[in-house]
Structure 1
């Protein structure tokens, strides 16, 4: 899974850039800002000076052979110098710096609208992993792709649930880390009387987020049941479509007593699977309603 959870309200192109720029985001989170863009880098200046010195040496040598040849050499060597002065191609060491600067300029406005997995403590990280696994189970299921669930509402609700859980866990982790740092230095009885209820508030907040995650997991479990019934339903239908071929084969081989009862069970199994699929889809829709605010 990606290491960045993005607010669904961020434009898709910027959201994708956020997800692909984790290292830059970590540096930004630590207070990094890029240096101002330079018209011509010092490295490029050194390259140009060396190039021009060599060029002048070559032109001077050509001048000894004739004015026309010197003029030609000046033109041939001067044009590349001018091109290098004005084209903004970065040298190898500057390419990364230029990329990071561009990312910074685009994404500096989105602070607070993304969560890095590095923002979470161990307990919160486990909860987010569970939530994202449940979301993936629903999103990647065949019953969702084939429209047996409310795929349109899923497309809106699931990213919103994932983001809200990640956002709350990031706030919880930050506050819990500060709380632990304060408590670790030792508390007087007076301060301990205040800190204890605050610790319980943190625990209650985690329990509330856990309830959200468990609701997502119940929905995903119902979708998994529906997925299993849906796949089995399709397999039974494939077999039923070939029943006449099986019947012809057993008739020709004289194996009627062995195979016919098994073939007759296909229709019964198909009916049972249809019922199971309807029940599991109904349960999934019911679980979905519990996720809505």
Structure 2
């Protein structure tokens, strides 16, 4: 699975604006992790366009002023010299003649990445197996937090907003550690293991496997919760559609009465009320099951 499906995972304790910046700049964070450094902020030093303007433009202006004071008018020679200086200044200060500076926000992101080092994980922190689990985790969390039943407060939306990002971070932290240990272990095995060492390696492999199984259980619990929320979401939307139909029911009844088709249509239309009651019950049951799954997840 490609890391493109997995977003940067940030410790919930990191300020939200910084967390959003990290999630929006995964490629830059990868470059920083690989050793990239932003160029220093531009300064006023000899050789810059501003300095050239000072060294060239000021004498030109002085020459023009002296010519005016001596002769009472600007002489053609002085005027020509000033025009040449002006054209030269425009040339050296034109945008095409200046090196492009690093955007200012890259400096800020670089400093934030150093300050919060260890409190975010990138897709490359996970091996393929862990990356797949991380993608499943984020899909489950996003589906719950993005649901209408959560936004409408039918679930415990406050606890969801706090606990689900914390679950995502804990899973990411464990998967990153598991990936690192698994890579080291595979490198050791690839070099060949003496028979005397093979027996000692087996408990380590069991530790890796049991740790992965524990993380998988967490992910599956999240997915079960998200599944119950999805059931509630479907019932929520269906109930809304039924309520829209019920609101239009008087107009249909009026039409049926006027057309003399009462015996044909009224029984069918009347079932809307029963359907609405059943959907209301389905919604309550789905929300209740989601709450039960949440308590299991929480504890």
Give your verdict on TM over 0.5: yes
Is the Cα contact below 8 Å between 2:14 and 2:119 reproduced in 1? Answer: yes
Shift of 1:3: 2.6
Is the Cα contact below 8 Å between 2:6 and 2:134 reproduced in 1? Answer: no
Shift of 1:246: 0.9
Aligned position for 2:130: 124
Aligned position for 1:189: 195
Aligned position for 2:12: 8
Give the whole-Å Cα distance in 1 for the aligned partners of 2:13 and 2:62.
64
The match for 2:100 among 73, 90, 93 is 93
For residue 9 of structure 2, give the secondary structure of its aligned residue in structure 1: strand
Residues 141-187 of structure 1, C-alpha deviation per residue, up to 9 Å, x if partnerless? 11111110011111101111111111111111111111111111111
Unaligned segments of structure 1, at least 5 residues:
86-90
Is the Cα contact below 8 Å between 1:237 and 1:270 reproduced in 2? Answer: yes
Give the whole-Å Cα distance in 2 for the aligned partners of 1:46 and 1:257.
91
Residue 28 (structure 1) aligned with residue 32 (structure 2)? yes
Aligned position for 1:18: 22
Give the whole-Å Cα distance in 1 for the aligned partners of 2:42 and 2:256.
83
Give the whole-Å Cα distance in 2 for the aligned partners of 1:94 and 1:191.
55
Aligned position for 1:173: 179
1:1-293 pair list within 5 angstroms: 3-34=7-38, 37=41, 39-40=43-44, 45-48=47-50, 55=57, 66=68, 69=74, 93-96=100-103, 98-293=104-299
Give the whole-Å Cα distance in 1 for the aligned partners of 2:151 and 2:199.
54
Unaligned segments of structure 2, at least 5 residues:
none
Shift of 1:280: 0.7
Aligned position for 1:88: none
Q: 1:218 and 1:56, CA in 2 relative to 1: closer, same or farther beyond 3 A?
A: same
Task: Normalising by structure 1, report the TM-score.
Answer: 0.84
Residues 71-130 of structure 1, C-alpha deviation per residue, up to 9 Å, x if partnerless? 9x88xx79xx8xx99xxxxx552234x443332223312111101012111111111111
Shift of 1:40: 3.6
Shift of 1:55: 4.2
Q: How many residue pairs were aligned?
A: 283
For residue 17 of structure 1, give the secondary structure of its aligned residue in structure 2: helix
Task: Normalising by structure 2, report the TM-score.
Answer: 0.82
For residue 121 of structure 2, give the secondary structure of its aligned residue in structure 1: strand
Q: 1:92 and 1:3, CA in 2 relative to 1: closer, same or farther beyond 3 A?
A: farther
Q: 1:38 and 1:190, CA in 2 relative to 1: closer, same or farther beyond 3 A?
A: farther
Q: 1:212 and 1:12, CA in 2 relative to 1: closer, same or farther beyond 3 A?
A: same
Tell me which moved more, 176-185 or 28-37: 28-37
Give the whole-Å Cα distance in 1 for the aligned partners of 2:143 and 2:262.
43
